[in-house]
Structure 1
Amino acid sequence: MELSTTRAVVTGGASGLGEATARHFAAHGAAVTILDRDADRGRIVAQEIGGFFAETDVTDEASVQAAINQAVADMGGLNAAVNCAGIALGIKTVGRDGPHPLGAFQKTIDINLVGSFNVSRLAAAAMADNAPEPDGARGVIINTASIAAFDGQKGQAAYAASKGGIVGMTLPMARDLASTGIRVMAIAPGIFRTPMLAGLPDDIQASLAADVPNPSRLGDPNEYARLAGFIVEMGYLNGEVIRLDGALRMR
């Protein structure tokens, strides 16, 4: 696979890591369909990169199936899916206001983990119809984990659990899809300069960056995008989780 012949869906593609990935892929010749709930921003990004947009709720089966169908029709096929849609809530298991709201935990799992699996399984079903490459490849799925899956902090029970689930399903999903010629990978980013962090005061951002051993800065979404592009083209990468964190180990 090469980016120039890739036809990809990118969830969460209207902002952050997803937007950077959509832009990087498109700049290297890929056809891209952005899947996001933010219709206004999603359409703007899609227009700017010469791609397509489908308003999508990743937790809803019908919504995702319709988006995949639309993407296949618009792009003439599908051979890559990058799941970047997600949320992060900071709530302790028991805090000043009482126990962690169960609904908040379930919502985090639903969007981050169930949503990623929902898109992955339906995208894989579409990829299975592709004619194989000379090495048997029919597609690749890239999910977004987090270093919180390994080094979860206070208030990250829900987030770390959801990202730990991404890590846990990477290898078995790769094994499930091996006979179909579809690879499955995950990227576990560290602290990145996304809209989620951009709203924090400069001194807090500087403090977070100082904790990263080398280079001592926040990650750039374009670095995530470049790694995703490398995974697409490096056909022997499969069933693995790659940390992208500047050697940061949170404690």
Structure 2
Amino acid sequence: MTQPSPVPDRPAPQSPDPTSPNRSAPPSSPGSPGAVTPHDAVGLPAPGASATPPPDLGAAGNPPSPPVPDPASTPRHLGTPVPFAAPPRDRDNTRLAVTIVVSVVAVVLLCGGGFFGLGAALVATGNELYKQSRDAAAVFMTDVADGALPAAYDSLCEPVKREVTLDEFEREWDPLEINAFQLDNPRDTGDGSFLVSVRATSATSAPMDISLTVSMSGSTMKMEVCGWEAE
């Protein structure tokens, strides 16, 4: 009796290795899930699809707030005027203008005060000269009326005393016998001298008018009698 021959074992089918580089994926249709298209290969959106992703509406369905720019990274445009802003004032020019105004006012006040002071000084000097001229004439005539002719001679200015001696002076004034007098206000001659009119009276003769010339002495800087003349 013949026994049947054994059938050789067939190798079990091997599962394809997913990591094998030579594995070829079965082709898939473009519309099937998981199909790789040429646009996917180069990173381009598929035809008919939007290139910009839809905005994230958030949990409540509202668009998110725009991002707040960082002040440090925000560009600053120097020299760009701010709309409706008041123009800046030049403080240096303002100070300069104030300084000029204050300086002008100070100069005017100083000049005005200086002119006023000079005018007042001239008036005071003129009044003082009038007073000194009258006083010098009064001292001279008082000595004459008192008979103190040497004292009257001493009150004369130096130029007259160099020309007229005491004896000559006494011989001229003693015969007049003047015992009283009246003085008028001095008159300025314009050359630095003053004329003082004197109304003199005598016990033996009629009243007489005498004009005394009073000038400032260069040595004593005082007003002194430097001449006389009968009117």
What's the TM-score, normalizing by structure 2? 0.19
Higher RCO structure, 1 or 2 (CA under 8 Å, sep 6+): 1
Larger Rg: 2
